[in-house]
Amino acid sequence: MSGTPVRFGLIGCGEIAMQSLKALQAAEGCAVTAVQDVVADLARDTGAKLGVAHFTNVDDLLARSDVDAVVLSTPHFLHAPLAIQAARAGKHIACEKPIACTLAQADEMIAVCRDAKVKLSVNYISRYSPMVLKTKALLEAGAIGKIIRYQIHIAADKPESYWSGGYTGRAKSDWRQSKEKSGGGVLVMNLSHDIDRVMWIAGLVPERVFAEAATHSTPVEVEDNISAVVRFTNGAIGSIDAMSCARGKEGFGNRLYGTEGQIEMAHPLRVFTTREDVPGCKPKEWSTLEVGGALWSTDERTAYFVDLAKAIQEDRTPLISGEEARKVLALCVAIYESAATNRAQSVDWRQ
């Protein structure tokens, strides 16, 4: 990249903001010029470390001429109002996932950003993982034929402290415990990353879902155990299973099944294909492909910000636009509605 870097302001200086800050410092064509947090100590600490202006009032950050874009690292229920405020101030937006807590909020964000002619992106950063990109290339080459099934599984064991302070305790708040403030539990907080990457690489469009959810051993409103079956417009079936209360953890993974094989998305990447023309793979045998990188690395987040900065400079749609992130939320919302009503639900999907 050449020319003036895109100047980012951080809105929210808590746990996830520190990951974005590290990535932005490594990202070509990006700079951080101001930070804000309603907790004065967090804003002061972050600003001092960077040597940039710090604020507790978001209006002060948005008024700065040296801020081209903002990074929203705030509780989920603040994504929509802050994004709308930033868009009306003429700032491009990089928002933490999920895009919002409700589809109505997401739709308003998208509409306001479109009217303001600013870019809206949601950082589903695993799209930039070498493993994910290699899997996408294999699918596009027809390595496993037509997709007929996928499986997503997460088994995490979140400590009690997570629900009031995240994994690091940098910022204290109870928003993760509230359905209204978070939008949901392990599905929208964690599994939405898996949903995004699998639907993106496979090009699947969900039609309807049936789900069950529960809160078994966590003193919160949101679910800590959820399962769903998804039917896609091409006839494929998906299964989604997630826990945040799995003692012993283990059991992470995405797997894609096709008419001519299957792919286990892991490190290393494992491929079974009946075809004889897939580079690096033996027909009718499991093959292991080393693709490097690791999910949730700084490299993925850095690549996300580099790509977003290019999209801003080139005036093009970001890879992970607001519309793309809305699709993920639409499936999550349908899953929650099915679990609440004990009935299959259609998915409010928009291309």
89-102 tens-digit pLDDT: 999 999 999 999 99
Structure confidence at residue 266 (pLDDT): 87
Tokens found for residue 275: 């075809």
Q: Is there a contact between 160 and 293 (Cβ–Cβ < 8 Å)?
A: no
Here the CATH number for the domain that contains residue 113 is 3.40.50.720
Structure confidence at residue 339 (pLDDT): 98
Structure confidence at residue 325 (pLDDT): 98
Mean pLDDT of the 16-42 span: 97
Structure confidence at residue 1 (pLDDT): 47
* Count: domains in the chain: 2
CA distance 226 to 315: 40
pLDDT digits 0-9 by tens, 56-65: 999 999 999 9
Structure confidence at residue 298 (pLDDT): 77
> Which regions of the chain does DSSP assign to beta strands (E)?
6-11, 30-36, 53-55, 69-72, 92-95, 120-122, 147-155, 206-214, 225-232, 237-243, 253-258, 261-265, 269-273, 285-289, 345-346
Structure confidence at residue 92 (pLDDT): 98
Q: Let me know whether 100 and 247 are in one domain.
A: no
Decide if 149 is inside a domain. Answer: yes
CA distance 253 to 208: 23
Mean pLDDT of the 295-319 span: 92
Decide if 175 is inside a domain. Answer: yes
Q: Let me know whether 13 and 107 are in one domain.
A: yes
Mean pLDDT of the 150-166 span: 94
Q: Let me know whether 100 and 164 are in one domain.
A: no
If pLDDT is split at 50, 70 and 90, which confidence band does 158 have? very high
Structure confidence at residue 3 (pLDDT): 73
Decide if 213 is inside a domain. Answer: yes
Structure confidence at residue 296 (pLDDT): 62
Q: Let me know whether 70 and 53 are in one domain.
A: yes
CA distance 299 to 302: 5
Average pLDDT, the chain: 95
Q: What is the DSSP string of 23-59?
A: HHHHSTTEEEEEEE-SSHHHHHHHHHHHTSEEESSHH
If pLDDT is split at 50, 70 and 90, which confidence band does 290 have? confident
Task: Decide if pLDDT at 277 tops 70.
Answer: yes
- Identify the domain containing residue 43 by its residue range: 6-124+299-319
Q: Let me know whether 230 and 266 are in one domain.
A: yes
If pLDDT is split at 50, 70 and 90, which confidence band does 267 have? confident
Decide if 139 is inside a domain. Answer: yes
Q: Let me know whether 214 and 337 are in one domain.
A: yes
Structure confidence at residue 2 (pLDDT): 54
Task: Decide if pLDDT at 30 tops 90.
Answer: yes
Burial of 250 by CB count in 10 Å (0-12 exposed, 13-18 middle, 19+ buried)? Answer: exposed
Q: Let me know whether 216 and 307 are in one domain.
A: no
Q: Let me know whether 279 and 161 are in one domain.
A: yes
If pLDDT is split at 50, 70 and 90, which confidence band does 249 have? confident
DSSP 245: B
Mean pLDDT of the 201-208 span: 94
Q: What is the DSSP string of 274-299?
A: S-S--TT--BTEEEEE-----TT-HH
Task: Decide if pLDDT at 237 tops 80.
Answer: yes
Q: Let me know whether 79 and 145 are in one domain.
A: no
Q: With pLDDT > 90 as the criterion, what percentage of the chain qualifies?
A: 93
Structure confidence at residue 293 (pLDDT): 72
Mean pLDDT of the 261-290 span: 94
CA distance 260 to 257: 8
If pLDDT is split at 50, 70 and 90, which confidence band does 253 have? confident
Q: List, in order, residues 6 or more apart from 81 with CB less than 8 Å away.
A: none
Here the CATH number for the domain that contains residue 224 is 3.30.360.10
Q: Let me know whether 180 and 115 are in one domain.
A: no
Task: Decide if pLDDT at 198 tops 50.
Answer: yes
Decide if 351 is inside a domain. Answer: no
Q: Let me know whether 74 and 38 are in one domain.
A: yes
Decide if 1 is inside a domain. Answer: no
pTM of the model: 0.95
Q: Let me know whether 136 and 181 are in one domain.
A: yes
